[in-house]
Amino acid sequence: MLFEQERRFQILLAASEISDPTDGPFAYQTWYDYNQRYFDDQLLPVPIVFGLVPHGRALSHYDGYRRRELLHPSLFVPQGENPWHVLPILGRLLAAEVILHDMIHMRVWQLCGSRGKGASSHNNPFFIREINRLAPLLGLPANASLIKQQRTGDRVQWVHLPEFLSRGELAVWPYGMRPADYFDAESFPLLDQLIHGHSKTKKKEDGV
Ligand SMILES: [Zn+2]
């Protein structure tokens, strides 16, 4: 990072040691390390704050307009009985991968704005390219490809080839691609829960 960006980062880190001493410095240090390791130190520092995330179930949200990273506090200290129904994997390992996911959003915003000139914040050429670039570095398959709409009769659907990631999988990459034991959680339907979450579990509970 250039001197001025480094200075800003150190200010943000110092502030987090006061405002979020439990997990703030960890989040900033993770961001800093990943910026060096995966993004050639090119991402600009942003505030990382903790709070409720818009759009319901999300674990985090990068607000590119405000240039602010928002992490749900339950990622670190679970509140409620079983947040997102992924209680066994909550903690710093998952939080670090959630931060990495949002760093891809930061990269796309820095390059070309919110949706990377594509269909969505995940299904766009820049996000897809970043996944395929990072995947080998993380020990994951580089299997992201733009997902297109196809018409079948009267219906128009988003269709992805089986060997490539679905829209739901793009939204939880890379942590959703990890085996559950990566997070020290034995035998746990991680990907399914992350994508379908509460609604599917609730249906099961309701016996539907
Ligand atoms: Zn995302």
Place of tokens 């990273």: 69
**Which DSSP category does 60 fall into?**
E
How close is the Cα of 4 to the center of ligand 1, in Å?
28
What are the strands, taking DSSP E only, across the chain?
A: 48-50, 60-63, 68-71, 148-152, 155-159
pLDDT tens readout for residues 30-77? 999 999 999 999 999 999 999 988 766 789 999 999 999 999 999 988
How close is the Cα of 67 to the center of ligand 1, in Å?
15
Predicted confidence at residue 42, as pLDDT, reads 96
Of the pLDDT bands very low, low, confident and very high (cuts 50, 70, 90), residue 169 is very high
How close is the Cα of 154 to the center of ligand 1, in Å?
30
CA–CA separation, 93 vs 102, rounded Å?
A: 15
How close is the Cα of 71 to the center of ligand 1, in Å?
12
CA–CA separation, 53 vs 183, rounded Å?
A: 23
Predicted confidence at residue 48, as pLDDT, reads 98
Which residue from 11, 110, 111 is spatially nearest to 67, judged by alpha carbons? 110
How close is the Cα of 102 to the center of ligand 1, in Å?
6
Give the domain range for residue 179.
Answer: 3-206
Summarize the confidence of residues 89-104 as an average pLDDT: 94
Predicted confidence at residue 198, as pLDDT, reads 53
CA–CA separation, 78 vs 67, rounded Å?
A: 26
Number of domains in the chain: 1
Predicted confidence at residue 201, as pLDDT, reads 45
How close is the Cα of 5 to the center of ligand 1, in Å?
24
Question: By percentage, how much of the chain surpasses pLDDT 70?
Answer: 91
CA–CA separation, 100 vs 110, rounded Å?
A: 15
Predicted confidence at residue 30, as pLDDT, reads 97
pLDDT tens readout for residues 114-136? 777 777 899 999 999 999 999 99
Predicted confidence at residue 170, as pLDDT, reads 96
Please report the sign of the dihedral spanned by the C-alpha atoms of residue 44, residue 47, residue 53, residue 54: negative
How close is the Cα of 123 to the center of ligand 1, in Å?
10
How close is the Cα of 122 to the center of ligand 1, in Å?
6
Predicted confidence at residue 172, as pLDDT, reads 94
How close is the Cα of 58 to the center of ligand 1, in Å?
9
CA–CA separation, 69 vs 103, rounded Å?
A: 9
Taking 50 as the threshold, does the pLDDT of residue 208 lie above it?
no
CB contact at 8 A, 101 and 31? no
How close is the Cα of 61 to the center of ligand 1, in Å?
7
Coil, strand or helix: which one is 131? helix
Predicted confidence at residue 207, as pLDDT, reads 39
